[in-house]
Structure 1
Amino acid sequence: MRDHDALWQPLQVGPVSLKNRVVVTPHALAYGRDNLMTQQSVDYYEERAKGGAGLILTEAQVVHPSSRGMMLRTLQSWPTEVIPVYERLAKAVHKHGAKVFVDLSHFGAEDNNTMHLDNWRSLWSASGLPSPTYGEIPRPMTEEDIAELVAGFGRSARNAAVAGMDGAEVHAAHGYLLCSFLSPLTNRRTDAYGGSTENRCRIVIECAQAVRKEMPAGEFAVGVRLSLDEFVAGGIEPDEGERILRTMDESGLFDYFSVSGGAALTFHRTVSPMSIPGTPLVDLAMRAKKIVDKPILTANGIADLETANGIVERGDADLVAMTRAHIADPHLVSKAQTGREDEIRHCVGGNQGCFSRMAKGWSLTCTQNPAAGREAELGLGTLEHVTEPRTIVVVGGGPAGMRAAETAASRGHRVVLFEQSDELGGQIRYAAKLPTRGRWAAMVSDMERTLDKFKVDVRLGTAATVETIAAEDPHHVVLATGSSWRTDGYLAAVGNHGGIPGLEHTTVLDPITAIEEPERAGKRVLVIDETGEYLALGLAERLAADGREVEVVSTRMFLGDNTVLYLDLAHLYPRLHAAGVTLSPQHAVFQVTPEGAVVGRIWDGRTRVVPVDSVVTVAMRDPECSLAGQLRGRLPFTQVGDCVAPRKVDEAIYEGETTGRAV
C-alpha cells in the first residue's frame, strides 16, 4: 500500500468538516426527469460516497426558469419540489461519512432558447454577446432580471438547507452567466455591474449574499467556482483572475474557492482530453493559495492518487477533484485505504463515455466502468457469485473478451481465454501506439491484472477452433473475435459499394498494418477516413512525424468531427498543421490510376490527381464471426463486441460485463 497520508487528512471548510481531501466536482449526469434529480442520480452519488470520497458536489442545478440548460434533462433547484430528492441524496451520502454540496448555476447564453417547447424565451447575459458555442444572441440583463436571479440563488439555497445538504457552490466559471459578468471580454456594461473588477464581481457577491441569508448560521458552507484564466485574449487573464479572487475573498462570503480555468471557447482546457498530460490547472490553484487564506480546490487531469497526494502534500491546493477518476472507479479511495490500490480501474481520459455523451445531451456512463449510471444493476454488491462453478471459454482477448473473462471468473467460474496473437488488448493495443494515445494501455493493464487476480487461464498465441473449445467441455462459450478493417475503399457516403476502382495500382493498407509496419506506406501516403474519429488523424500525425507526405481525405464536412466531442480537436489540429498534414474534407477518392489517386469534391466532382505510394483505408470494418457459424448447434455461445457489429470500445466492455454476469 502506497502512502497517501496527505489526502486522508480531514479539512474544515467553514462549518463543515470533511473526512479527506478528495472531491467529486460537478459534472453532467443527465439522469433527471421533470427537471429534478432521480433515484438514479442518488444511486450514482451514493456509490462515490460509499467508495470513500470526502466531498461530492451535484451536477449543475439551475436557479431560475430562464435557464433550462444545454440538455433536455437540465435540473432545477429553485422549486420546492427538489426538497424530497435532495433529502434522499443527503441521507444516502451522509450514510458513508461524506458531505454533499449543491452546485448552483445559470447557463446564460450557453443555452438553446427554443429547445423546450414550453420554455421559449430570450437568453440572459451580461451584455448581449452570443455564445461561441451556440451562437444565439441573448439580451443584456436588466436590474429587474438581476434581482430575480439573486432571489433564485436564495430560494435554491434554502431548498438545499431544508433538505439537509451541507453546502452550496456558486458557479461563476466556464463562460456561464455569472462568468459572463466577471469577464471583461463579455461584460461591456456601463452600469453598477460593469467596468471595474469590483463592479463586475457585484452580481456574484449579491447572489452569494442571498445564499448566506437563507443558510442556518454555522451549519452550511458556501464556495464559489471561478475561472482564474479563461485562456482567451481580452478575457479573464491571470492578473485579472487574481483581482477577482481578492474581491471575492474580501467579501467574507466564501468558505472555500474552487479554482478552475477556461470559458465556452476554451473548454478543451477545462476538461483535458487524453492528449494533454499532467494537471494543467494546478498552477492556477498555486496562485490562488498565495492570495487567500481559505481552502483551495483544484481540478482537471488528476487521475491517480499519487498525483493527488503530491498536490496536497506540496501545498499547491487543499482539496483535489478526482472527478473522472471517480467515474471510472468510484471506489478508488477505499481500495487505496484497504491495501487494494492495484485493483483501481484508471480513467484513460478518452472523454467518450462522459464528456462526449454530455455534449450530445445523453446520459453519462464510462468506457472503463459501464456501472456508471447503472449502479442499481451493476454497482458494488450486485455481482452474483455462483454456487456451482462452470467452465466458460472466451475466444478473443480484446476489451470485450477480457471483460467477459474477468467478470465471469470473479463470480467463481473457471475461465479459459484463447487469444490468437501474442498479446492481449485487441485493437486498443494498436490505438495506444498512436501519438498522445498511450493511456489506452492503462485499460489493458487494468484488465490484465484482474484476469491474473481471478486466475483466468489465458492462452496467448492460440487460435481457437471448435475442437480446442470442445476439449475444455465448456458450459458456455463467449465469442469476442472482433472485426477486421476492409481495404477495398468502400465509401457509404458516395455509394461505391464495390470499393474504389484501381487500387491494384498502389499499396493498400488497413490502419492496423500502417501502425505496425509504417515502412510499407512509402513516402507519399493518402489516408481515407469515413469515421470522423481520432484514428485516421492520429495515424496521419504518426506517419508525417517520420517525414512522409500525408494527406487525409474524407467525405465528412470536416476531418475528425467526432473528436470535438472528446475535446481533442483543438489540441490535435495544431499538431497536424505543424506536421504538414494536408486535410481534405468533403472529398472522396474516385479511383486510383498509375499516375495516382483521383481525388474529387463530393459536391461537383471536380478532381485532381495525387501521386501516392500507398492508400490507407479507415472506413469500414467487418465482424469476424466465422466461428459462430461453426459452433452453432454444437455448443451454447454468446457473441460480444465487434463480432456482433463493429462499434466503439464502450459497447465492447459493456457487453463483456453483462455477458460475464449472465453466463
Structure 2
Amino acid sequence: MREYEALWQPAQIGPVSLRNRVVVTPHALAYGRDNLMTQQSVDYYEERAKGGAGLILTEAQVVHPSSRGMMLRTLQSWPTEVIPVYERLADALHRHGARVFVDLSHFGAEDNNTMHLDNWRALWSASGLPSATYGEIPRPMSKEDIAELVAGFGRSARNAAVAGMDGAEIHAAHGYLLCSFLSPLTNLRTDEYGGSTENRCRIVLDCARSVRANTDSSSFAVGVRLSLNEFVTGGIEPDEGERILRTLDASGLFDYFSISGGSATTFHRTVSPMSISGTPLVGLAARVKSIVDKPIITANGIADLATANGIVERGDADLVAMTRAHIADPHLIAKAQSGREDEIRHCVAANQGCFSRMAKGWSLTCTQNPAAGREAELGLGTLEQAAEPRTIVVVGGGPAGMRAAETASARGHRVVLFERGDQLGGQIRYAAQLPTRGRWAAVVSDMERTLAKFKVDVRLGTAATVETVSAENPYHVVMATGSSWRTDGFVAALGNTGGIPGLEHTVTLDPITAIEEPDRTGQRVLIIDDTGEYLALGLAEKLAADGRDVEVVTTRMFLGDNTLLNLDLAHLYPRLHAAGVVLSPQHAVVQVTPDGAVLVRIWDGQQRVARVDSIVTVAMRAPEESLAGELRGRFPLTQIGDCSAPRRVDEAIYEGELAGRRV
C-alpha cells in the first residue's frame, strides 16, 4: 500500500536487512526465571514479529554478575546457559521475518546491592557517586573491574551470535554504567577513562571492540544507545552529546546509533507520560542525522503510523521506535498493511501496565491490551468461536462492559449492551476531560469501533432492569455496572468508617460531579485525596484554571505518589504550583464546622481551619451491584470491573476480555 510508504521501505543496518523501518526498542518485561528469558518472553516477542515489526530488541541483558539490576527478574547474557534461550527466540522471530538484537547492559549504580541474598556486593560506577534514585554509594571501577566488564560484553555478544541473534546494542544511555562514564556530571576520574570527551568514551569503545572481536562483522550488527541530552545541568547536553557521537562514530565500530535522552533522574523525559504530547526526542535524532552517515533510530511518543512515517519521510531518522504502540497492539503494522487500520488499539501513554509496573519490579502488561504478557492465553488465534451462538446481555457501557461485549460478539454471540447514560465509556469519559488526559478517549473510541464492527446491539439511555434483561431471554448476563464515589469523607488511614463529621456545613461533591458541574464547587475548594492517583490533582488543575482557590489534602506522604511511577508527577507538579494549587500532604480533615474544614497534621495533631465553599472527596468507591443481586439466581451471571471491586481500568478491561471469552 502506498500510505506510509516511507515506513514500509526496507532498511540496512550493517550486514542486517530489515523489512521495514519500525523498531521495538528494549523495555522491561520481567517474565524471566533463573536470570534467563522464558517461553513467556519468547511468546511476547513473537507476537510482535507476527504483527510485522522490522527489528525487535530484547529487554536489558546484563553482561556481568556485578549487575543484577533493579528487579528480581533481571536477565543475564554472560553465562552460556543463555544460548538455548536465545536460539529459541531467534528462531521464533526469524520465522515471521523480523530481526532481533540483544540489548547488552550494566546498571551500575542504578541498582540495589542487597536485593538478592546470593549477590550482595558493592555497586560499580565511574566515580563512586551515588544514584539519585536509590542513594547507594558505589565504588569507582578499578582497571581490573573495567577489564572484567569489557570481557563480559564480548562473552555476551558471542553467546548471542552463536545462538543466531542478528546483532547487539550496547546500552550507554539513561544513567546506567556506561552512561556514567560518558557524562561529565558523573565521571570525575583523572585516569585515561576520565576528563576529556575522548577519555570518557574510552570504555564504550573498549566494550564495542570486545563485541566485535567475539562476533562476525559480516553477519552480526553492532549499535549503541545514547542519551544525547541528559536534561541535567552539568551532564550530557546536546553539544557534548555531539562530541561523544563524533568520537564513537570515528571508531568505525558501530553500524547504527539509537538516540534517546534523559538519565535516571529525568526518566520522565525518556518515556513521555500522558502529560506530554508529541515526539519530544525526535529533534535529537534529527540533529544526529546531520552529523553521522549511519542509520539513526529515534524513540519516545511515536504512537501512530502517520507520525512515524512523517519522521522517516522528513529524514529526521532512518528508523522509528514504536515500542509502547506495539505493547498496546502488536499487530498494528499487519492491520495497516491489510487495510484494517481502524482496528488498531492505540497506546494512550498512561504508563500503568508498562512503566509503572516495571518501576515496581512487576511483570509488564497493558491497559489497552491485556494479552500483553499473556500471549499463550489471550494472543492472536486464541479466541475460540462459540460452539453455539447465544444471546448475551451486558449491563454497563464502561470499559469492562464494552470489552466483554466486543469479545463475546467476536466469538459469534448475539450481544445486547445496556447503558443508562447517553454515551459509552463510563468514568473514562470524565477522566478524558481533565487537563492532559484527552488520550483516554482513545480507549473508548477504539472499543466503539469494534462494537460497531461486530454489530453489538448497543442501547444507550436505557437503564437495565429485571424486566428489560429478562425480555432478551439471555443465556448469560455480564454485570459491569461500575462503582460510585462516596461523599462521606471516609479515609482508610483514619479508619473513620462513618466519614467526616459536619459535612452538612458545606457542599460535598464527588469528583465526577465536580468535573461535570464545576460551578457547584464555589470559589474555595478543598479536595480530599485518598488514592495517590492523578484524578484529585487533575481536578485541582482544572478548577484552578477556572480561577478557583484550590487546596488538596491527603494523609499520604505526598500527593499523587502513584503518578510518580507513571512518570506524570514531574510534569504535573510544576503546573499545579504555577496555578497556585496548595498541596497539603500528611494532613487529614477531621471535621467540618461553620467556620470551615478542620485540618490536622497526622504526626503531632497540630490543627488549622480552612474556609471552604465545597469539599470534593476522592477516596472510597462503592460497587454498583443492586441489579446484580436482583438478577442472581434468575440467569447465569458474572460480575466484572468495579461492580465486583472498584479498581483501575486495567483490571476492568482484563476482566471484560475474560468474561467475553468464557460466556
Hey, what's the Cα distance between the residues in 1 that align with 2:333 and 2:2? 12
Hey, what's the Cα distance between the residues in 2 that align with 1:590 and 1:90? 60
- Per-residue CA deviations over 1:319-338 (Å, capped at 9, x if unaligned) read 00000000000000000000
Q: List aligned pairs for 1:90-169, cutoff 5 A.
A: 90-169=90-169
- Per-residue CA deviations over 1:158-202 (Å, capped at 9, x if unaligned) read 000000000000000000000000000000000000000000000
- Per-residue CA deviations over 1:538-567 (Å, capped at 9, x if unaligned) read 000000000000000000000000000000
Q: Which residue of 1 aligns with 2:382?
A: 382
Q: Which residue of 2 aligns with 1:360?
A: 360
Q: Which residue of 2 aligns with 1:513?
A: 513
SS in 2 for 1:599: strand
Q: Which residue of 2 aligns with 1:298?
A: 298
Hey, what's the Cα distance between the residues in 1 that align with 2:268 and 2:634? 52
- Per-residue CA deviations over 1:369-397 (Å, capped at 9, x if unaligned) read 00000000000000001131100000000
Q: Which residue of 2 aligns with 1:449?
A: 449
Hey, what's the Cα distance between the residues in 2 that align with 1:356 and 1:467? 43
Hey, what's the Cα distance between the residues in 2 that align with 1:182 and 1:412? 57
Q: Which residue of 1 aligns with 2:413?
A: 413
SS in 1 for 2:302: coil
1:333 partner amino acid: I
Q: List aligned pairs for 1:199-278, cutoff 5 A.
A: 199-278=199-278
SS in 1 for 2:82: helix
Q: List aligned pairs for 1:617-636, cutoff 5 A.
A: 617-636=617-636
Q: List aligned pairs for 1:2-41, cutoff 5 A.
A: 3-41=3-41
| CA shift for structure 1 position 11 | 0.6
Hey, what's the Cα distance between the residues in 2 that align with 1:622 and 1:339? 43
2:521 partner amino acid: A
| CA shift for structure 1 position 216 | 1.6
SS in 2 for 1:551: strand
Hey, what's the Cα distance between the residues in 2 that align with 1:146 and 1:115? 23
Distance 1:599 1:452, change over 3 A: same
SS in 2 for 1:40: helix
| CA shift for structure 1 position 2 | 7.3
Aligned length: 663
Q: Which runs of 5+ in 2 are unaligned?
A: none
Q: Which residue of 2 aligns with 1:526?
A: 526
2:321 partner amino acid: A
Hey, what's the Cα distance between the residues in 2 that align with 1:652 and 1:407? 13
Hey, what's the Cα distance between the residues in 1 that align with 2:510 and 2:100? 50
- Per-residue CA deviations over 1:480-504 (Å, capped at 9, x if unaligned) read 0000000000111111111000000
Q: Which residue of 2 aligns with 1:67?
A: 67
SS in 2 for 1:171: strand
Moved more, 597-606 or 334-343: 597-606
Hey, what's the Cα distance between the residues in 1 that align with 2:286 and 2:420? 50
| CA shift for structure 1 position 217 | 3.4
Q: Which residue of 1 aligns with 2:190?
A: 190
Q: List aligned pairs for 1:287-436, cutoff 5 A.
A: 287-436=287-436
Q: List aligned pairs for 1:465-544, cutoff 5 A.
A: 465-544=465-544
| CA shift for structure 1 position 363 | 0.2
2:261 partner amino acid: G
Moved more, 516-525 or 490-499: 490-499
| CA shift for structure 1 position 633 | 1.2
- Per-residue CA deviations over 1:338-372 (Å, capped at 9, x if unaligned) read 00000000000000000000000000000000000
Hey, what's the Cα distance between the residues in 1 that align with 2:525 and 2:645? 29
Q: C-alpha root-mean-square deviation of aligned residues, in Å?
A: 0.6
SS in 1 for 2:81: helix
Distance 1:627 1:80, change over 3 A: same
Q: Which residue of 1 aligns with 2:649?
A: 649
| CA shift for structure 1 position 603 | 1.2
| CA shift for structure 1 position 628 | 1.2
- Per-residue CA deviations over 1:70-95 (Å, capped at 9, x if unaligned) read 00000000000000000000000000
Hey, what's the Cα distance between the residues in 2 that align with 1:216 and 1:239? 34
Q: Which residue of 1 aligns with 2:562?
A: 562
Hey, what's the Cα distance between the residues in 1 that align with 2:641 and 2:565? 23
Hey, what's the Cα distance between the residues in 2 that align with 1:374 and 1:496? 40
SS in 1 for 2:438: coil
2:153 partner amino acid: F
Q: Which residue of 2 aligns with 1:177?
A: 177
Hey, what's the Cα distance between the residues in 2 that align with 1:319 and 1:2? 18
Hey, what's the Cα distance between the residues in 2 that align with 1:130 and 1:192? 22
1:636 partner amino acid: P
Hey, what's the Cα distance between the residues in 1 that align with 2:167 and 2:415? 48
- Per-residue CA deviations over 1:288-326 (Å, capped at 9, x if unaligned) read 001000000000000000000000000000000000000
- Per-residue CA deviations over 1:592-619 (Å, capped at 9, x if unaligned) read 1111101110111111110000000001
SS in 1 for 2:6: coil
Hey, what's the Cα distance between the residues in 2 that align with 1:85 and 1:598? 61
Hey, what's the Cα distance between the residues in 2 that align with 1:334 and 1:590? 57
Identical positions, percent: 85
Structure-2-length-normalised TM-score: 1.00
Hey, what's the Cα distance between the residues in 1 that align with 2:492 and 2:272? 33
Q: Which residue of 2 aligns with 1:591?
A: 591
Q: Which residue of 2 aligns with 1:463?
A: 463
2:640 partner amino acid: V
| CA shift for structure 1 position 227 | 0.2
Hey, what's the Cα distance between the residues in 2 that align with 1:491 and 1:91? 53
SS in 2 for 1:100: strand
Q: Which runs of 5+ in 1 are unaligned?
A: none
2:362 partner amino acid: W
Hey, what's the Cα distance between the residues in 2 that align with 1:614 and 1:401? 33
Hey, what's the Cα distance between the residues in 1 that align with 2:152 and 2:544? 54
Q: List aligned pairs for 1:541-556, cutoff 5 A.
A: 541-556=541-556
Q: Which residue of 1 aligns with 2:282?
A: 282
Hey, what's the Cα distance between the residues in 1 that align with 2:613 and 2:543? 13
